[in-house]
Amino acid sequence: MIRTEELLLNVGPQHPSTHGVFRIIVRLDGEIITEAIPVMGYLHRGTEKLAENLNFTQIIPYTDRMDYVSAMTNNYVLCHAVEKMMGIEIPERAEFLRLIVMEMQRIASHLVWWGTYLLDIGALSPFLFAFSDRERILQLFNELCGARLTYNYMRVGGVKWDAPEGWIDRVKTFVKDMRLRLDEYHNLVSGNEIFLSRLKGIGKYDADTAIAYGLSGANLRSTGVEWDLRKTEPYSLYDRFEFDVVTGKNGDCYDRYLCRMGEIEQSIRILEQALEQFPGDGETMGKVPRVIRPPAGETYVRIESPRGEIGCHIVSKGKAEPYRLKFRRPSFVNLQILPKLLVGESMTNLVTILGGIDIVLGEVDC
Amino acid sequence: MKGMMKGLGVTLKTLGAKKVTHAYPDVPIEMPDRFRGIQHVDREKCIVCNQCARICPTDCITLTGKPNPDPEKKGKVLDTFDINFEICILCDLCTEVCPTEAIVMTNNFELASYSRDDLFKDLDWLNDNTKNIRQDNNNIGAPQRGGGKAE
Amino acid sequence: MSEEIKKDGETAGTEPTAQPEDNRSEAAPETAPSEPQTEPAPAASAEEAAAPSEPAQAAEPAASTAEPAAEGGEAAPPRRKETEEEKAARRKAALEAREAAKAGAAQAKAAEAAAPAASSGDGGEPAAPPKPPSPNQPRLDRAVQLLKELVAEDAVEEASLNELNDDLPTLVVKNERWPAAAVLFRDHEELGCRYLRNVSGVDYETYMEVVYYPLNMERRETYCVKVRTDRENPSVPSVTPVWETANWNEREIYDLLGIDFPGHPNMTRIMMPDDWVGHPLRKDYVPLDPEV
Amino acid sequence: MEPLRFIDKPLTWGHAGLMVLMAVAVLAVVILFVTYAIYFERKVIGWMQFRKGPNRTGPLGLLQTVADVSKLLLKEDTIPAKADRGLFILAPALAFIPSFAVLAFIPYSQHLQFADLNVGFLYYIALSGVTTIAIVIGGWASNNKYALLGGMRSAAQMISYEVPLVISVVGCVMLAGSLNLRDIVEAQSGYFWHWNFLPQIVGFAVFVVAAISELNRTPFDLPEAESELVAGYHVEYSGFRFAFFMLSEYVYVYAIACLTTILFLGGWHAPIPQLDFIPGLIWFVLKFAFVVFCLFWIRATFPRLRVDQLMGLAWKVLLPLSILNIFITAACIELFGMGG
């Protein structure tokens, strides 16, 4: 008589495919997962608590460290929320710069995702391909604001730095090259039969489930829901540009992959238009009071980060520090569906599904 | 099969492509001027206004002043100035608020050390850190700039 | 965003002639009228009690503007143990008079603008006369009506439009009525909020509040629903059965604020270690080691 | 090179000494190969990824692997407290010995061969199966769940893929009329279209896929899939025990590359007989290097298969194809008089 028993496997916190310090306790029947319990908080730094003792300018560097592969959008959501409460007008040039860096950041973020996801699936080269191109974006950011990852670039009322000499032209060159590189990426991976068989039909959910779980970003759009805050609730200057919301059909990992790759292309489109229309001259800081004190009250502002809807809920009592600052982190919300998706899948698909959700642990744990 | 062949084609093409590897320790990396590296503090320029210590989000700056030794002059001069690079996040806010550009960023970033104690830099060290000082500091947060326009 | 505030932001820059002394004294009225109506009396009075001390301290360094830098320089560098008022005062001391005038004017204007904004959010009453009615007003009224009709007469405690947030219809729902109200929000065809954007918990020192942002994706309409609970035994019915999104968000709020969510399938800590004592985001939370 | 055939002669002390010497020589060659196979693997994959690959240890980084191996050998030998000590120690040795033993029968050129076995190919299959056992033992003895999963995957994979691997070769054997590898190579003499990879195209394809799988290399590197199982069966191994696993893996690369060359690429034969003046050994090495390069190339490009797909591929695709190949080959031999 053969005795079989379930295996309790601890995936993480140090595991190559959890993209940070994330832990899933999985119960395995053979290689089939019967239960998955996510455990997080290893990277919890209490950003929201820290923020209660800091003024808004001081909080901006902390937002860099939440979603550290997409710091620009984090900067933006905080500044945007404060500006909204205070009714500050942003000069057009500053808003253009913000939009350009946010779209570049979206490309950079999706490149990181693409590289690491393919690494999860077992392909080595895409990681280096993606990072060598992301490097160019980081270099451009470095020229713009002096940092490669934690930019601290935006300020309430504008941006800290104007574009340096020739920077816009260098971005234009990059955008042109990026189009070609994107084709190369598709040639390298997107048609590969092994890759397709790994992704198609894996981690599938329908639109209703996605909405019930509050998914956002490519995770939601892969089910066919046309929901991109840049289009549905335009902020910044997005209503001036022409671009499509990339959606999928089946809501599986492959559609999520296509959505994100399509978003890179759309970001390139937006960048091309934005760089053409970039105002030749102008202010980069609006009229901002010396001490930034939003009026008492509260606001919830949301924008489309590469991972989905990032929101910033500020409760102010009219002081320079927020009374309560809460970030709606898309990774955190998107990750909730993971235990549901994992049941009945194999260990290999755990990696595929987790990678497909695209989480950044700095943001999950905040 | 077609997709696999395409992929093989891409990697084969890359075999002869230009490499991006930077021979870093042998060839130093030139950072752009705006790069935010280890601060330089000019003890002559500092007016001990404490702005940098106050804006610092991580409280890594401590400074004290003393009366100006020259009785003719008013105000204070810097006595001690320490930055704890264990917790400094090089966010640039201290240079942004400095009214006299006494604290500025440099393009140096190599801080690795075998001891945490070495990361505690005092005034002498920071004052002597004069290589690659950033030219344009864009201190938009400084009082005379009024948090107004950038340039 | 209300047009008034925006306009004031612009005009503030063009009116640099205001006297600095006047602006200092305006710090007190700034906090008082902007007290939102959604706050109960104790919080407001505490705030007002704190407010007068601020200009008093601020005035002193501002008077000796001759050498503003010296003030900070001789003391040890500021630590977090300083009170908020002291910090604010120091910051002001560092301003030059011209900047202070500008900033003061802007703040005063902002405060004035905020005052009508706050008063307009008074239980669905007509807004202040000069302001055109918001396009969101019917939406708010309808939601209130539906909740009153279909859930319970006492379901809605307050309803207002949040001017700081694009006139967002904001409802305060009675704690016990919240599960039924949540189902209504999701399933009623006129509300149809199948998507829950965000859940936040706020500690207002006299009570706790959980803020929900349900969203109707088809019509792109967001609501803000607040549920209040007392601070001693904070508890808000869980809406995880209604919106799965709430699951981890509620756990996070439980973890960081200590609000219990009866009905939640797995009410455990999510960020902090399981054996952690206290709830860090509470205003009275004392860290074990203040240096860390 | 007649002295090399001494194995067929009666065993004397002299012969035994020679055998030991030859074994040491082969070991030296193999270790040299492994050292530089690893080096070139890293170089080639680096080049394919816009990198330069190892370039800091020694000139052009040529001493990189030497440094790596020295480090592994000097490293503290750790055995997990809860591991099955005996089996844990046994597994790396058990993995390496057969991998080295299979090299004995490989004919490098017309005359250079250590043991001319009549059942050469079967000998390879029989011995390489032992390594599978070693991997399972290693995975089990580590007392680690990841290692156990890796070991089980490895066992399932190796057993599944050995079947199509053997059957795909049957076509070649039928064409040559012998299991002896020298005879198989001799049967492929002539122009390069006489090499088995064209007449036996189906068999060749099946063989390549099954061989890569036998090697546990991308896209079949599931037993040690680092993104899922961290490192699979050798997750608890470090130091020289880990080095032994690595070594046996690369020795198998060597063996499989040799086998591919011999069975399908005409062994030491020149592509066209006019080029016969170049020694056969050089042709052999060239073909061998090409096969090894292809392995690296594939590793740089492909993602990994999933376990269930892997098993499905073996049993549902490769096995029927290779059996079909036997029938087609038999029919061709019968109808068109191909082969011997």
In this prediction, residue A111 carries a pLDDT of 92
Where does chain A show beta strands of DSSP type E? 7-11, 23-29, 32-39, 154-155, 158-159, 297-305, 308-316, 324-328
Q: Which of residues 290-329 of D touch B (CB under 8 A)?
A: 297-298, 300-302
> In this complex, which of A9, A188, A351 lies closest to D145 when CB atoms are compared?
A9
State which residue of chain A sits closest to D302, comparing Cα positions.
Answer: A123
The position carrying tokens 């007649």 is D2
What is the per-residue pLDDT across B29-52, written as a single tens digit (0 to 9) for each? 888 888 888 889 888 888 888 888
State which residue of chain A sits closest to C47, comparing Cα positions.
Answer: A317
- Asked if D147 and D235 count as a contact pair (C-beta separation under 8 A), the reply is yes
Helices A92-121 and A125-145 cross at an angle (nearest 10°) of: 160
pLDDT band at B147 (very low <50, low <70, confident <90, very high): very low
In this prediction, residue D309 carries a pLDDT of 83
In this prediction, residue C289 carries a pLDDT of 64
In whole angstroms, give the CA distance from residue C31 to residue C48: 7
In sequence order, the β-bridge partners of residue D260 are none
Q: Which residues of B touch D (CB under 8 A)?
A: 4, 7-8, 10-12, 14-21
- What contacts A237, CB < 8 A, 6 or more positions away? A95, A96, A99, A274
Q: Does the CB of A66 have a partner CB in chain B at under 8 Å?
A: no
pLDDT band at C56 (very low <50, low <70, confident <90, very high): very low
Residue C43 has pLDDT above 50, yes or no: no
- What contacts C14, CB < 8 A, 6 or more positions away? none
Predicted TM-score of the model (pTM) = 0.81
In whole angstroms, give the CA distance from residue D113 to residue D104: 8
Could you tell me where the DSSP H helices lie in D215-318?
Answer: 239-264, 280-301, 307-312
- Interface contact flag, C77 B63, Cβ < 8 Å: yes
- Asked if C225 and C211 count as a contact pair (C-beta separation under 8 A), the reply is yes
What is the per-residue pLDDT across A188-241, written as a single tens digit (0 to 9) for each? 888 888 888 888 888 889 888 899 898 988 999 999 888 888 888 888 888 888
> In this complex, which of A9, A17, A195 lies closest to D227 when CB atoms are compared?
A17
How many CB atoms neighbour CB D281 within 10 A?
14
Most confident of A213-217, C55-59, C128-132, D110-114: A213-217
What is the per-residue pLDDT across B67-124, written as a single tens digit (0 to 9) for each? 888 777 777 888 888 888 888 988 888 888 888 888 888 888 888 889 888 888 888 8
User: Given a contact as 3+ CB pairs under 8 Å, which chains touch B?
Assistant: A, C, D
Domain-located, residue A77: yes
In this prediction, residue D159 carries a pLDDT of 83
Min Cα distance D165 → chain A (Å) is 20
Q: Which of residues 111-170 of C touch A (CB under 8 A)?
A: 111, 113-114, 117-118, 162-166, 168
Give CA D270 to chain center in angstroms: 23
Pick from B1, B12, B15 the residue to mutate for testing the D interface (most D CBs within 10 Å): B15
Q: Which of residues 89-118 of C touch A (CB under 8 A)?
A: 91-92, 95, 99-100, 102-103, 106-107, 110-111, 113-114, 117-118
Q: Does the CB of B6 have a partner CB in chain A at under 8 Å?
A: yes
- Interface contact flag, C67 B51, Cβ < 8 Å: no
Q: Does the CB of B51 have a partner CB in chain C at under 8 Å?
A: yes
In the DSSP assignment, the letter for residue C290 is T
- Interface contact flag, C217 A225, Cβ < 8 Å: yes
In this prediction, residue C3 carries a pLDDT of 41
Give the closest residue to B103 by CA, choosing from B48, B151, B143, B59: B48
In this prediction, residue A264 carries a pLDDT of 92
Q: Which residues of B touch A145 (CB under 8 A)?
A: 34
- The whole-number average pLDDT for the span A33-55 is 88
In this prediction, residue C97 carries a pLDDT of 41
What distance separates the 2 farthest-apart alpha carbons in chain D? 65
- What contacts A222, CB < 8 A, 6 or more positions away? A247, A248, A250, A251, A252, A255, A256, A258, A259
In whole angstroms, give the CA distance from residue A350 to residue A16: 12
For chain C, the C-alpha Rg in angstroms (whole number) is 22
Domain-located, residue A236: yes
In whole angstroms, give the CA distance from residue B112 to residue D314: 51
- Asked if A26 and A44 count as a contact pair (C-beta separation under 8 A), the reply is no
- Asked if D232 and D208 count as a contact pair (C-beta separation under 8 A), the reply is no
Between C19 and B132, the higher pLDDT residue: B132
Q: Which domains does chain C have, with CATH numbers?
A: 154-257 (3.30.460.80)
- The whole-number average pLDDT for the span C148-152 is 81
Give the CA distances from residue B25 to residues A183, B30, C249, D55, D110, in Å, rounded to whole numbers and listed in that order.
Answer: 34, 12, 46, 13, 51
In this prediction, residue D302 carries a pLDDT of 87
In this prediction, residue B144 carries a pLDDT of 57
Helices D201-214 and D145-176 cross at an angle (nearest 10°) of: 150
Domain-located, residue A40: no
SS (H, E, C) C211-257: EEEEEECCCCEECEEEEEEECCCCECCCCCCCCCCHHHHHHHHHHHH
pLDDT band at C290 (very low <50, low <70, confident <90, very high): low
Q: Which of residues 52-81 of D touch B (CB under 8 A)?
A: 52
Between C101 and A330, the higher pLDDT residue: A330
pLDDT band at C98 (very low <50, low <70, confident <90, very high): very low
Total number of domains in chain A = 1
- Asked if A153 and A160 count as a contact pair (C-beta separation under 8 A), the reply is yes
Residue B62 has pLDDT above 70, yes or no: yes
Q: Does the CB of B83 have a partner CB in chain C at under 8 Å?
A: no
User: Given a contact as 3+ CB pairs under 8 Å, which chains touch C?
Assistant: A, B
Min Cα distance C101 → chain A (Å) is 10
In whole angstroms, give the CA distance from residue C258 to residue C282: 8
The mean of the pLDDT values for chain A is 88
> In this complex, which of A132, A142, A160 lies closest to B138 when CB atoms are compared?
A160
Q: Which residues of A touch D49 (CB under 8 A)?
A: 124-125, 127-129
Residue C212: φ, ψ to 5°: -110, 145
Residue A357 has pLDDT above 70, yes or no: yes
For chain D, residues with pLDDT lower than 50 are 1-3
pLDDT band at A110 (very low <50, low <70, confident <90, very high): very high
3-state secondary structure of D207: helix
Could you tell me where the DSSP H helices lie in chain B?
Answer: 2-15, 51-55, 93-97, 123-128
In this prediction, residue A105 carries a pLDDT of 92
- What contacts A105, CB < 8 A, 6 or more positions away? A70, A71, A72, A73, A137, A306
- What contacts C25, CB < 8 A, 6 or more positions away? C55
How many CB atoms neighbour CB C81 within 10 A?
7
The percentage of chain C sitting over the pLDDT mark of 90, rounded to a whole number, equals 1
Q: Does the CB of B11 have a partner CB in chain A at under 8 Å?
A: yes
The percentage of chain C sitting over the pLDDT mark of 70, rounded to a whole number, equals 53
Domain-located, residue A230: yes
3-state secondary structure of C133: coil
Length of chain C: 292
Give the closest residue to C204 by CA, choosing from C240, C176, C231, C232: C231
> Between chain A and chain D, how many beta carbons pairs sit less than 8 Å apart?
85
Domain-located, residue A63: yes
Residue A325: φ, ψ to 5°: -130, 120
In this prediction, residue C107 carries a pLDDT of 52
What is the per-residue pLDDT across D288-297, written as a single tens digit (0 to 9) for each? 889 889 888 8
In whole angstroms, give the CA distance from residue B124 to residue B115: 19
> In this complex, which of B54, B75, B146 lies closest to C70 when CB atoms are compared?
B75
In this prediction, residue A137 carries a pLDDT of 92
Domain containing residue A157: CATH number:
1.10.645.10
Listing from the earlier edge strand, what are the strands of the sheet with B76-84? Answer: B61-67, B76-84, B120-121
Question: Domain containing A289: what range?
Answer: 50-365
Q: Which residues of A touch D (CB under 8 A)?
A: 7, 9-10, 15-17, 31, 118-125, 127-129, 132, 188-189, 192, 194-195, 197-198, 346-351
